[in-house]
Amino acid sequence: RPGAPGRRGRDGSPGPAPARRPRLPRVEALGLVLGGPDGGRVAGRTWVRHEVAGAGAFRVSSDGFWQVHAAAAPTLVRLVREAAALRPHDTVLDLYAGAGLLSLALAGDLGPDGSVVAVESDPSGVADLRRNAHDEPRLRVVAARVEHALDDVPTHVDVVVLDPPRAGAGAAVLDRLAALGPRRVVVVSCDPAALGRDTALLAERGYRLGGLRALDAFPMTHHVECVATYDLIS
């Protein structure tokens, strides 16, 4: 065939170099759904392992949440850690914690007397979070909806980090959050409109927007990931 190794043209000149095949990503997990449309079971490994610089290794179930952009997880870890600016003795809340990406990164910035309370309600996310946090003594997992969990958290909180769903956190959550009086709130948002609404709600509750970073985490779409930092106005 044209371009095959060792082939030459009719005049004896070297033929074109063989086309390179693109290097495909390694397949880490493959699950097969067996059964009809009304039910079945999954065969094969149903989770993947992600290693994130600055945070550690994470086991994430096939139906769990993880960032789709390959660079998003380490970038968010770096930006959230910078925004949180934790002190060794801080008490931190990580709301909508998922598999614990931010929880574990923040726990690593604390001293032995610091603590992180990670809140997640999705059963699959809670299972992943517990597995990933099992050897981190500074991290406590609360399996509950955020609006309910905020009634059962430490009365003194220094920093709150939240990565709410696309609709945003909303007044019910931000009312309870502001009542705790953290000095800093860091919001990770995948919807600028929802972030704008939450920013207005936080401003009404005494918090000033001090920093905003926008990330192109969803290339060739209109979606933008944001990391916003709010400080309590003294």
Catalytic residue ranges: 190
104, two tokens: 């574990």
The one-letter amino acid at 48: V
**How crowded is the C-beta side of 69, counted as CA atoms within 13 Å?**
17
SS3 call for 228:
strand
Instruction: Measure the CA–CA gap between 197 and 183, rounded to whole angstroms.
Output: 20
Quick one: which of 28, 62, 67, 68 has its CA closest to 46?
62
Identify which of 97, 102, 180 has the alpha carbon closest to the alpha carbon of residue 141.
Answer: 97
HSE at residue 153, side-chain half, CA atoms within 13 A, is 34
Rounded Cα–Cα distance for residues 44 and 148 (Å)? 36
